[in-house]
Amino acid sequence: MTAPGPTEWGEGPGVRPWQGELPDDERYDAALLRDGDTRNVVDAYRYWTREAIIADIDARRHPLHIAIENFGNDANIGAVVRTANAFAVDTVHIVGRRRWNRRGAMVTDRYQRLRHHATTAELLEFASEAGLVAVAVDNIPGAARIEDVTLPRDTLLIFGAEGPGITDDAKAGARLTVSIAQFGSTRSINAAVAAGIAMHTWVRQHADLGRAW
């Protein structure tokens, strides 16, 4: 029988109430121990309080920031947040509209640092002050292939809205613009998919894979 994976437990979602002697550890949530834990968390965090999970991730976050220009109420933001959480991204920055559809985040926004910026200029100012290299991700003329580039370790990856792509401010303010190699007929990859590819590229180049689940 194959051992359960990092998000699998038994035949149903989550885990049942704790069996046996209760753990003497402040990281555990009394209600979850009593009622069971059906949250979308890896097994290592089962029964932990939200605060304990956030504190543990905070101790392991990567110096990678993600920004999404939300000038068209982009529906991909939730999926980007979920992926950023999976890769322990430091912060997801949302530029423009504050409101976004959180359904795609699958509640991972409860564990992920989020920050709002009214404009791309404000975002770029933050990056400069934080010592982050701004890298735009878009398939535009002159972009370097992400497959051939070593991304900066302390970096801010900027993604545009689905359709129009990154703004002129992002193009002008980014130290580097990278594209993702495509081979089919579509003009562009879904924004959330592109963000996942770019984040994983950074992970392959800079993360300690021995600490992955």
CATH of the domain at 74: 3.40.1280.10
Is the same domain home to 30 and 122?
no
Q: What is the mean pLDDT of the chain?
A: 92
pLDDT at 12: 55
Question: Is 70 exceeded by the pLDDT of residue 183?
Answer: yes
Give the model confidence (pLDDT) of 65-108 as tens digits. 999 999 776 789 999 999 999 999 999 999 999 999 899 999 99
pLDDT band at 163 (very low <50, low <70, confident <90, very high): confident
Overall number of domains in the chain: 2
Is the same domain home to 126 and 183?
yes
Is the same domain home to 119 and 204?
yes
Give the model confidence (pLDDT) of 139-162 as tens digits. 999 999 999 999 999 999 999 987
Is the same domain home to 106 and 43?
no
> Would residue 1 count as lying in a domain?
no
The secondary element (H helix, E strand) that includes residue 58 is helix 50-58
Is the same domain home to 102 and 27?
no
Query: Rounded to an integer, what distance in angstroms lies between the CA atom of residue 85 and that of residue 80?
Result: 9
Is the same domain home to 40 and 132?
no
pLDDT band at 7 (very low <50, low <70, confident <90, very high): very low
> Would residue 112 count as lying in a domain?
yes
Is the same domain home to 89 and 193?
yes
Question: Is 50 exceeded by the pLDDT of residue 8?
Answer: no
pTM of the model: 0.91
> Would residue 8 count as lying in a domain?
no
Question: Is 70 exceeded by the pLDDT of residue 4?
Answer: no
> Would residue 2 count as lying in a domain?
no
Site of tokens 């996942």: 196
Is the same domain home to 75 and 53?
no
Which of 59, 88, 109 delimits the end of a domain?
59
> Would residue 163 count as lying in a domain?
yes
Give the model confidence (pLDDT) of 12-30 as tens digits. 578 999 999 999 999 999 9
Is the same domain home to 47 and 141?
no
Is the same domain home to 197 and 99?
yes
Is the same domain home to 86 and 49?
no
> Would residue 98 count as lying in a domain?
yes
> Would residue 4 count as lying in a domain?
no
Is the same domain home to 103 and 46?
no
> By three-state DSSP, how is residue 67 classified?
strand
> Would residue 16 count as lying in a domain?
no
Which of 5, 36, 59 delimits the end of a domain?
59
Q: Which domain holds residue 34?
A: 21-59
Q: How far apart are the first and last CA of the chain?
A: 20
Residue 177 contacts residue 171 (beta carbons within 8 Å)? yes
Tally Cβ neighbours within 10 Å of residue 192: 22
